Chains A and B, each alone.
Chain A
């Protein structure tokens, strides 16, 4: 996180180019994640319910506890590392913008709520899938906005 010590990122062409590369990769990751989720556990409440709980009529097996916990564990790790990196760049590059704190808090808190709602859906009540899907899109769109905003600031 050496870039947090650079006084003016915009004037430092090398460091801003390095960060543009990283931001582009984060942006791609967030976009590809939509496809990965769509083809694995599903992106709609019904598709997610089918993946988690299965369906006897359609002969779809429910997701096992071990598989679910491993999936959840991996998701937490990747999301926390991506959002920590993205937030560090975002704070450093757009700290002048008035409402950036709102976006930062919205993305972070909705990502935490989405991660908490997933086991709640699995163990407590399947209605939590609606909360998961809503907060999943909320933090993804917020993170995409943060990436684009940082990219624009670094390009300018």
Chain B
């Protein structure tokens, strides 16, 4: 791989960190980090003057995220493919767990809207797992480029 691609990937990781920070801030501002907050956000709460989310309203938010999150995940994971972790078992688990986590994160609000409030906990856990997995991928990429100076990369 051309040396300058490494520079582009390092910048891409910084952009990705910014993207996750902004997602975290949106979650903190609009929803909150407890299962009760998440249930209130989707099902509404009279005491907090919050309206319940409609099915179409939820679709409008989820629709662009399905493709955008899958594309973002694919781009990040395909960079890991060029590192020494390509043949490790952990990479295979990383691919499956990242896609499963983003699917749960995206679609769990539909279950909450159907009254399955248990999915508020699943939404919270999947979101936290998603952040951990993405930051782990960032670490793998930065480690391969800056510390190990991977020649295959």
Contact = CB atoms under 8 A, between A and B. Distances in A.
A120 interface: no
A72 B29 contact: no
Contacts, number: 71
Contacts of B22: 69, 72-73, 76
Interface in B9-31: 11-12, 14-16, 18-19, 22-23, 25-26, 29-30
Most A C-beta atoms less than 10 A away, residue of B1, B25, B71: B25
Contacts of A131: none
Contacts of B14: 112
Contacts of A73: 19, 22-23, 26
Q: Give the size range of A's interface with the partner.
A: 20 to 34
Helix, strand, loop or mixed for chain B's interface? helix
B93 interface: no
Nearest to B61: A70
A117 to B, nearest CB: 12
Contact of B75 (A84, A100, A115): A84
Given A80-B12, A84-B12, A104-B7, A116 B18 contact: yes
A25 interface: no
B8 A88 contact: yes
Interface of A: 4, 65-66, 69-70, 72-73, 76-77, 79-81, 83-84, 87-88, 91-92, 95, 100-101, 104-105, 108-109, 111-112, 115-116, 119
20 contacts: A4-B2, A69-B30, A72-B22, A73-B22, A73-B23, A76-B18, A77-B68, A79-B15, A80-B12, A80-B15, A80-B18, A84-B12, A84-B15, A92-B2, A95-B2, A105-B7, A108-B7, A108-B11, A112-B14, A116-B18
